[in-house]
Amino acid sequence: MRNGTHGGAIFRFDLPLSELAEEEQQKELSPWPARRVTGLKPGEPEYRILVVEDHKENRLLMESLGLVVKEAADGEAGVAQWEAWQPHLIWMDMRMPGMDGYEATRRIKATEQGQRTKVIALTASAFEEDRHKVIAAGCDDFVRKPFREEEVCEMLERHLGVGFTYEEAGVAEGIDQHSATPLTADDLAVLPGELLTALHRASMQADDEAVRGLLAQIDEEHANLVQDLAALVRDFRFADVLALTDPSGRDS
């Protein structure tokens, strides 16, 4: 201390943030696909898709596109499922407990058959160094979470040549483009009240991971409901989820 003043220190640091490419910026500004996929083109072969992560709604999305899907909750189970089933393409979550996606991908790609299997990384990171790490592990491409349906279809078209059919332009014009029959609070009345309350709280915090975890608890008989809710979360429409799960509306 000098002349009644206190000394201090100034710290500076750099964050490795990179500017989004123009196409990425356009993607962020366009929450809806130009055309919605309605299924596979007639005559398309059977595509086996393995989803290695613990979010049920992502498997349901793949199935809704007409694909044959199996799932594994972690890297070790994913490698075992790949060996037994030989899928055409794997969606690989890179951060999982136990064996993560990096190690699982390296083990798969170390084999001749694995070289012929397409592996698409699912990652929440936008840092360029993490993208390089994903590719270095052997992944053929990556999608940043939360992803949208059109991104899934683009990857399937690019890496497997999958042909899709699309709704006619303007079919959904002037209405909610996600669904011709948007969800209502009555649709969610089949779910337990405690689950709806938990969904409401998670949506208030825009916690997509928590919402996905709750959706995974919903019974298979409500698969369409899970898919519709998951689509709202993927497009960051938490305000819609809040309205659908509003407890005051349920009490009235």
Share of the chain above pLDDT 90, in %: 38
Residue 3's pLDDT band (cuts 50, 70, 90): low
What pLDDT digit, counting tens, does each position of 55-78 carry? 777 777 788 888 999 999 999 999
pLDDT at 9 over 90: no
Q: Which amino acid is at 177?
A: Q
Mean pLDDT of 121-144: 84
Angle at 224 between CA 221 and CA 124, to 5 degrees: 115
Residue 226's pLDDT band (cuts 50, 70, 90): confident
Q: Please provide the size of the chain in residues.
A: 252
Mean pLDDT of the chain: 80
What pLDDT digit, counting tens, does each position of 36-56 carry? 788 899 999 999 999 998 777
Mean pLDDT of 226-237: 81
Highest mean pLDDT among 107-111, 178-182, 185-189: 107-111
pLDDT at 251 (0 to 100): 53
Give the pairing type, strands 48-52 and 37-40: unpaired
pLDDT at 62 (0 to 100): 82
Mean pLDDT of 12-17: 55
The burial of 41, by beta-carbon neighbours within 10 Å (0-12 exposed, 13-18 middle, 19 or more buried), is given as exposed
**Domains defined for the chain, CATH in brackets:** 35-166 (3.40.50.2300), 187-245 (no CATH)
Backbone phi, then psi, for 157, in 5-degree steps? -65, -40
Q: Of the ranges 5-14, 111-120, 218-227, which one carries the lowest mean pLDDT score?
A: 5-14
> Distances in Å between the alpha carbon of 218 and those of 42, 227, 230?
32, 11, 12
pLDDT at 240 over 50: yes
pLDDT at 19 (0 to 100): 47
Q: How far apart are CA 200 and CA 155, in angstroms?
A: 32
According to DSSP, residue 243 is labeled: H
DSSP character string of 93-139: ES--SSS-HHHHHHHHHTSHHHHHSEEEEEES---HHHHHHHHHTT-
Tokens of 237: 């429409």
Return the higher-pLDDT residue of 147 and 137: 137
Residue 127's pLDDT band (cuts 50, 70, 90): low
Of 173, 148, 142, the closest CA to residue 235 belongs to 148
